[in-house]
Every structure is written in structure tokens, then in C-alpha cells.
Amino acid sequence: MPVTDFKVAEKYKYQNGFGCYHETEAVEGALPVGSNNPQKAPFGLYNEKLSGTAFTAPRSENQQTWLYRILPASAHAPFEARETSTFDTNPGIHGKERWHQIPNQLRWDPFDMDETVDWVHSLHLVAGAGDPTMKSGLGMFIFAAGKDMSPLEAFYSADGDFLIVPQHGVLDIQTELGRLLVRPNEICVIPRGIRYRVTLPEGPVRGYILELYQGQFHLPDLGPIGSNGLANARDFQAPIASFDEDHEGNTEYTLLAKFSGHLFAAKQKHTPFDVVAWHGNYYPYKYDLGRFNTIGSISYDHPDPSIFTVLTAQSDHPGTAIADFVIFPPRWLVAEDTFRPPWFHRNTMSEFMGLIGGQYDAKTGGGFQPAGASLHNVMSAHGPDASTHEKASNADLKPMKVGEGSMAFMFESSLMVGVTEWGLKKCAKVQEDYNAESWEPLKPHFKRPNPDKLINGVSNGVKGEAGDKTQLPHYT
């Protein structure tokens, strides 16, 4: 389907395009013409530059936005540490928590809804690698909230860009640069440092977050695919300028910051959402996963999952990602003489999977459920479960539609991913029988060939007629 059939209607307008240089004004004439930093900005506004990359980053990578606001973002009291005993999303030397680095395949039951907390306090780090203080690596979060953030609060993360994947419920996100409505089967990205507030117009919400500590998300190169396909740039949507007015000094607002994985708070006497106009290429955006143009084999063999990449964040080694966001949408399979589900494999990349809805076509039964997750770490062997393998090995290979009504996704990383204490134990959602249920039931189907079918040797180290070398059998 080209566009998702959403149950909740859109209520905002957007600018279209990925990585575009946008400009927008909520009051006509608020954007200065011919300069970014005039001595006196229109209507008495303050000029403020928001830089997402170093000033000297190459032009093709440089991300920045000029804001024209009623009061600058710096107009607040000092930050103070808050909830130091309970809010810790940076395991290791900078926090009280620790990473559990383990090779076991892991799978989680659906994570619980929690109607007692707001967006900020619903964030639970499940897994990750690296260190936000060094701007290296990534974090993988679950969110589950039941309350609006206070109208007198705003939040931002100094640690990285949030890629938000809703699984249940609707997020109404007011950012400094405008508003986004984000529903299941949509994603949004809120870059590092941008302040926002989350309300829940349809009640409790739940989903997944990939926080990118290093670099920014980009569309993957298409190579031989050509100039179109996968996620098309025109389908990404950025907000238009929208602002509040409350600057009389009679109301106290709280600005919350996630900084090195810990929570800080500062007070200010004016609304944080007072950007009247902006222009630049550093802004929040959203995307409808139903618009993804799936590419696949039409002859034989299951392609690598990289063919389903929506967004990527590359390391300093081209082709090796700190983070890929990959989806498995409804699609046709037509390959001949091909085992169609994902093959058994071991991967130098770590794979964290989630399910937004439906049933993932590489798993049967109820083990991998919507709002659940799985983690197959660096070189941890995995693949289709026993029943899926049996079914796919004997299936009639006619053209078929898979994944109807389903949307699975993967956060993939070149880094070895650790699991937090919350993810491994405190959440109490790890399935202890994952291996026993999925792969231990697999049975050998090997049939020893006749001796005349062996070339240059036989199995079990017995010398063959053709020579003295012991090697694996070859088949003619």
C-alpha cells in the first residue's frame, strides 16, 4: 500500500523533503532577507543559531538552522541534577548501571504499558554500545507512557538524535520548530538538542527508540537500484513554524535535559516554544512507513536485509553503519528454487528487532509478538525457527504476499551491543526458553551419499580412491 490507512486523522501541515533546506514563518515577514544575523531582527525577535554539526563540517554534511524567537534559549536559570537515584541511561563509568555483554540470543515478551508516567519518565534503556559523552555509539530504548507532559515542561536530549518508532497510541509532539503528529506505522526523528513536549491525544503510548550518539541519519545510497526506491526523499515531512506567547514572567516553566544519560532541570519565566520563524536543514521530521518502496529478488535467493534500509548512520568506514533502521513491510515474494524466509546466519553486525503489528514472516507461534523484541548480537547464530524452516522447505513456490497487516523492524549496528540491568532482569520480560523453542527442535536431514558420488575423499577421514587428502564431500 502506498500510504498507511491511519485510524487517527492528521491535523498538522508539513514541508516535504529529506535533507532539504527549509524555511518557514508563522508571522509573515519574520524571516530576515539577505542575512541570517541582522543587527535588529524583524518584529524585535532574537537571532539564534542551532548547530547540529561542527561549523567546519563539509558543506554536504553541515547541518544548522537559524531560529528567530521571542527570547533566546539561553534565558533560563542554572541546571540542577534531578532524580539521580532513578534516572540513569548511561551505563558504565558515567553511571550506576552496567552493560551485560553476552552472546546469547535474547527475546522479550511485550513490554508493559505504564499509565502512571509521562514521556520523560517512560524511557527505559534496554541495550546499546558506546558513550554519549564521547559522541560514539547508540542506545536502544523502550517507551511506555500514559500521561501528558506538563504544559509547563519541555525536554531535550544532548546525548543524541531520537529515532522514535511508535507501536501503540499517538504522539502529539510540540517542538521548538513546529508540531508533529506521529502514529503507529510512522516514525519521527528529533535531532540532538531540539526541545519538545509530548502529549497523548488517544491515551497511553508504547514503542521503541534508537538514540544515535554519533553522527546523523541519512538516506542510504541506492547504487545499482538507481535514482528512486526504498524511502523516497519527498515522503519525509518537516514541521512548519508554530509558536506560543507567554513572556510576562508570571509563569514558571521547567526545562528538562538528558545529559550524559542523566536528568537535569532548569527553571525559566517564559515558554520554550517561542520560535516565530526558522530556516535551515537541522529539524525534526517524520515518515510514513507505508510509503516505503520495497525492492527484492524476482529470480532466486533471498537478498540481504540491507535492501530494506530506511535510514542509516555510517561509521568512518563507508558501508559499515553505527546504526541502520530497517523494516520488513508487506511485500510479494516470487523467487524460484529459493528458501524464502531469512536464511540461518551469523553476522558481524548486531540486530535488535521489534514488531509494530501483525506477525513477522520468519517466525511462527506466539514467541515474537507486537511490542516485544529480540537481540542477536555480534556472531550470535540465528534464523527461522524450526516450524518456519519446515514449512518454507516444503512450500509451493508460487508468488505470494507476505507480511500482510504486519510491520517488523530492525535496529542494526556494527557495534557489539550490551544489555542493561533493566533489559536483562528488571523488566522481567526475557524469554528463558527462546533457544529451546526456536532452534533446538531442528533435526538433521543429511543423507550420506553413495561412495561413487564422492570426489577426492570421503567423510570421517577415510582415504578415498582418488587421493590421500581428507576433505569434505563434494556433490556432482
The answer to whether residues 236 and 347 belong to one domain is no
The answer to whether residues 70 and 40 belong to one domain is yes
Torsion sign (Cα): 201, 202, 206, 211: negative
Assess if residue 457 is contained within a domain: yes
| Structural domains of the chain, count | 3
**Among residues 289, 318, 343, which one ends one of the domains?**
289
Q: Classify burial at 470, counting beta carbons within 10 Å of its beta carbon; exposed 0-12, middle 13-18, buried 19 or more.
A: middle
The answer to whether residues 255 and 305 belong to one domain is no
The answer to whether residues 357 and 342 belong to one domain is yes
Assess if residue 8 is contained within a domain: no
pLDDT at 474 (0 to 100): 40
Assess if residue 444 is contained within a domain: no
pLDDT at 462 (0 to 100): 47
The answer to whether residues 285 and 301 belong to one domain is no
Lowest mean pLDDT among 21-25, 41-45, 303-307: 303-307
The range of the structural domain enclosing residue 167 comes to: 14-289
pLDDT at 162 (0 to 100): 98
**Among residues 289, 309, 336, which one ends one of the domains?**
289
pLDDT at 455 (0 to 100): 66
**Average pLDDT of the chain, as a whole number:** 93
Tens-place pLDDT, residues 59-73: 999 999 999 999 999
Query: Which of residues 5 and 50 earns the better pLDDT score?
Result: 50
Stretch 185-211: mean pLDDT: 98
Tens-place pLDDT, residues 250-281: 999 999 999 999 999 999 999 999 999 999 99
Report the distance separating Cα 9 and Cα 5, nearest Å. 9
Assess if residue 443 is contained within a domain: no
Q: Is pLDDT of 298 > 80?
A: yes
Q: pLDDT-derived band of residue 200, with 50, 70 and 90 as boundaries?
A: very high
Cβ proximity of 70 and 30 under 8 Å = no
Torsion sign (Cα): 135, 138, 142, 143: positive
Tens-place pLDDT, residues 401-439: 999 999 999 999 999 999 999 999 999 999 999 988 899
**CATH number assigned to the domain comprising residue 52:** 2.60.120.10
CA angle in degrees (0–180, nearest 5) for 57-60-62: 40
CA angle in degrees (0–180, nearest 5) for 165-167-169: 110
Query: Which of residues 241 and 341 earns the better pLDDT score?
Result: 241
CB neighbours (10 Å) of residue 114?
16
Q: pLDDT-derived band of residue 133, with 50, 70 and 90 as boundaries?
A: very high
Report the distance separating Cα 239 and Cα 188, nearest Å. 11
pLDDT at 457 (0 to 100): 57
Stretch 396-400: mean pLDDT: 93
Transcribe 182-249 into DSSP letters.
E-TTEEEEE-TT--EEEE-TTS-EEEEEEEE-SS--BPPP-GGG-SS-BS-GGGEEEEPP------SS
The answer to whether residues 250 and 386 belong to one domain is no
Radius of gyration of the chain (CA): 25
Percentage of the chain exceeding pLDDT 70 = 94
Assess if residue 272 is contained within a domain: yes
Cβ proximity of 196 and 188 under 8 Å = no
Phi, psi (rounded to 5 degrees) for 310: -90, -55
**Among residues 241, 257, 289, which one ends one of the domains?**
289
Give the residue among 384, 374, 316 at the shortest CA–CA distance from 350. 374
The answer to whether residues 263 and 389 belong to one domain is no
Torsion sign (Cα): 76, 191, 199, 122: negative
Assess if residue 176 is contained within a domain: yes
The answer to whether residues 310 and 423 belong to one domain is yes
The answer to whether residues 194 and 54 belong to one domain is yes
The answer to whether residues 254 and 374 belong to one domain is no
Phi, psi (rounded to 5 degrees) for 421: -60, -40
Q: Is pLDDT of 93 > 90?
A: no
CA distances from 50 to 56, 58, 411, 419 (A): 14, 17, 28, 33
Assess if residue 6 is contained within a domain: no
Q: pLDDT-derived band of residue 470, with 50, 70 and 90 as boundaries?
A: very low
Q: pLDDT-derived band of residue 108, with 50, 70 and 90 as boundaries?
A: very high
The answer to whether residues 243 and 351 belong to one domain is no
Report the distance separating Cα 125 and Cα 424, nearest Å. 11
Assess if residue 2 is contained within a domain: no
Catalytic residue ranges: 302, 345, 351, 376, 382
Query: Which of residues 432 and 361 earns the better pLDDT score?
Result: 432
Lowest mean pLDDT among 84-98, 249-263, 437-451: 84-98
The answer to whether residues 454 and 310 belong to one domain is no
